[in-house]
Amino acid sequence: MEIIFDGLRRLSGNEYMFSKNTNLSHSHLSVPNTINDVPPCIAQLLDNEESWDFNIFELEAVTNKRPLVYLGLKVFGRFGVPEFLNCSEATLRAWLQMIEANYHSSNAYHNSTHAADVLHATAFFLGKERVKGSLDHLDEVAALIAATIHDVDHPGRTNSFLCNAGSELAVLYNDTAVLESHHTALAFQLTVKDSKCNIFKNIDRNHYRTLRQAIIDMVLATEMTKHFEHVNKFVNSINKPMASEETSSDCEYAANMKNFPDNQTLIKRMMIKCADVANPCRPLELCIEWAGRISEEYFAQTDEEKRQGLPVVMPVFDRNTCSIPKSQISFIDYFITDMFDAWNAFAHLPVLMQHLANNYKHWKMLDELKCKSLRLPSENNN
């Protein structure tokens, strides 16, 4: 464990871990006017949106890489977001379009499909009995908005890269939570700038301030340098008291949470953090695709660092030498297992835990066979 502290400066948790723990068709699609107006093939896919095994890559393919607008319309509708915000579906659609347009489709991983995936996971978690019972409608709305915007305008480079390169964003945010600060600030700027897409224009000042605070808190919680702090607080303030509380039912326990806004905040942080890195808990084929995408984005960063003579912040992610199975095993061991054990103890997520165990076995099997790629050569179908 000493490696967690050894030499950790501004690096995000996983960069640090990786640097030390070495060992379709795209026909033109117009945007729908209403949720009832989406092309049948998209509507059909979205019918399965409430399932954890929903295939976001199929949605990416049939929507010409605009899954966020379509999934957003459906999910926000299901959770009564337009009613809560007192905004029309046209405003919501314009907002989703504007946010999606500000994700970089050129990023291998941090594009609008990742945002849609995090939105999907967040909506799934909000449907779990204990989560639903613990939160207010405002929290649900804030969580869905936070998931949607949480990586907007991500440049496909990490915080450390931006700091090392002396980028404008790093200077603007004093090398502190650079990307997370940017995602939140930009999303609010873009939203209120144009009344056509201002989903907040009809809510009163106090409501807006509370909602805005909740959204900011959640997006900032996705920063990985604070990972262990957030997980520990959740375990100590939510899981432990819950385990000792034998008398009250789940339902009573959850309802009681509504009297403790600080605990609601910890639940919301944990929820978006888990949604953000839920890809190792997806069905194997989806998990493999995500691992390929994040690896490619990291490889591209390492390439650029070498080209520009910048420090290589994640030497493990060198496309010439990387073992993807090893990198996934490290990521799961370091960040995923404990966090999802804690989240599962609260939210009860047997399907995710089963996928996680299965996916972990896949990476272990490849590593034992000294295979460095995403799957066995015999299974390569692309």
Specify binding-site residues for Zn(2+).
Answer: 114, 150-151, 276
| Cα–Cα dist 88/12, whole Å | 39
| Cα–Cα dist 148/56, whole Å | 14
DSSP 375: S
Contact of residue 68 among ligand AMP, Zn ion, none (CB under 5-8 Å per partner type) = none
Among the listed residues 334, 329, 340, 216, the one whose alpha carbon sits nearest the alpha carbon of residue 273 = 340
Active site residue 348: no
Contact of residue 279 among Zn ion, ligand AMP, none (CB under 5-8 Å per partner type) = ligand AMP
* Contacting residue, 16, 290, 346, 360, with ligand AMP by CB under 6 A: 290
Nearer to ligand AMP, 35 or 71 (CB): 71
Stretch that binds ligand AMP, among 82-90, 91-99, 271-279, 359-367 (CB under 6 A): 271-279
The DSSP annotation for 36-73 comes to GGS-HHHHHHHTTTTSTT--HHHHHHHTTS-HHHHHHH
Residue of 26, 28, 110, 183 marked active site: 110
When asked if residue 331 is in the footprint of ligand AMP (CB under 6 A), the reply is yes
When asked if residue 180 is in the footprint of Zn ion (CB under 5 A), the reply is no
Nearer to ligand AMP, 160 or 198 (CB): 160
Residues from 147 through 166 that contact Zn ion (CB under 5 A): 151
Alpha helices in 81-204 (DSSP H): 81-85, 89-101, 112-126, 129-134, 137-149, 159-164, 168-172, 178-193
For the record, the structure tokens of 89 come out as 């579906």
When asked if residue 223 is in the footprint of Zn ion (CB under 5 A), the reply is no
Q: Output 161-169 pairs: Cβ under 8 A, ≥24 positions apart.
A: 161/301, 161/304, 161/305, 161/310, 161/313, 163/10, 164/305, 164/310, 164/311, 164/313, 165/308, 165/310
Cβ(271)–Cβ(346) below 8 Å: no
Residue with tokens 């995000």: 12
Nearer to Zn ion, 151 or 198 (CB): 151
When asked if residue 323 is in the footprint of ligand AMP (CB under 6 A), the reply is no
Residues from 272 through 291 that contact Zn ion (CB under 5 A): 276
Nearer to ligand AMP, 35 or 313 (CB): 313
When asked if residue 294 is in the footprint of ligand AMP (CB under 6 A), the reply is yes
Stretch that binds ligand AMP, among 195-203, 207-215, 277-285, 349-357 (CB under 6 A): 277-285
The DSSP annotation for 9-39 comes to SS--HHHHHHHH---------PPPSSGGGS-
Cβ(225)–Cβ(160) below 8 Å: no
Nearer to Zn ion, 126 or 219 (CB): 219
* Contacting residue, 60, 117, 140, 151, with ligand AMP by CB under 6 A: 151
The DSSP annotation for 129-148 comes to HHHHHHS-HHHHHHHHHHHH
* Contacting residue, 69, 123, 214, 277, with ligand AMP by CB under 6 A: 277
Residue with tokens 């093939």: 41
Q: CA triplet 256, 52, 76: central angle to 5 degrees?
A: 65
Which residues line the annotated binding site for AMP? 110-114, 151, 276, 328
* Contacting residue, 184, 279, 301, 323, with ligand AMP by CB under 6 A: 279
Neighbours of 309 (CB within 10 A): 6
Size of the site for ligand AMP (CB under 6 A): 15
Per-residue interface string for the shown chain with Zn ion, residues 114-153, x marking contact by CB under 5 A: -------------------------------------x--
Provide the binding-site residues for Zn ion, judged by CB under 5 A. Answer: 151, 276
- Residues with catalytic roles: 110
Provide the binding-site residues for ligand AMP, judged by CB under 6 A. Answer: 12, 14, 150-151, 222, 224, 276-277, 279-280, 290-291, 294, 328, 331
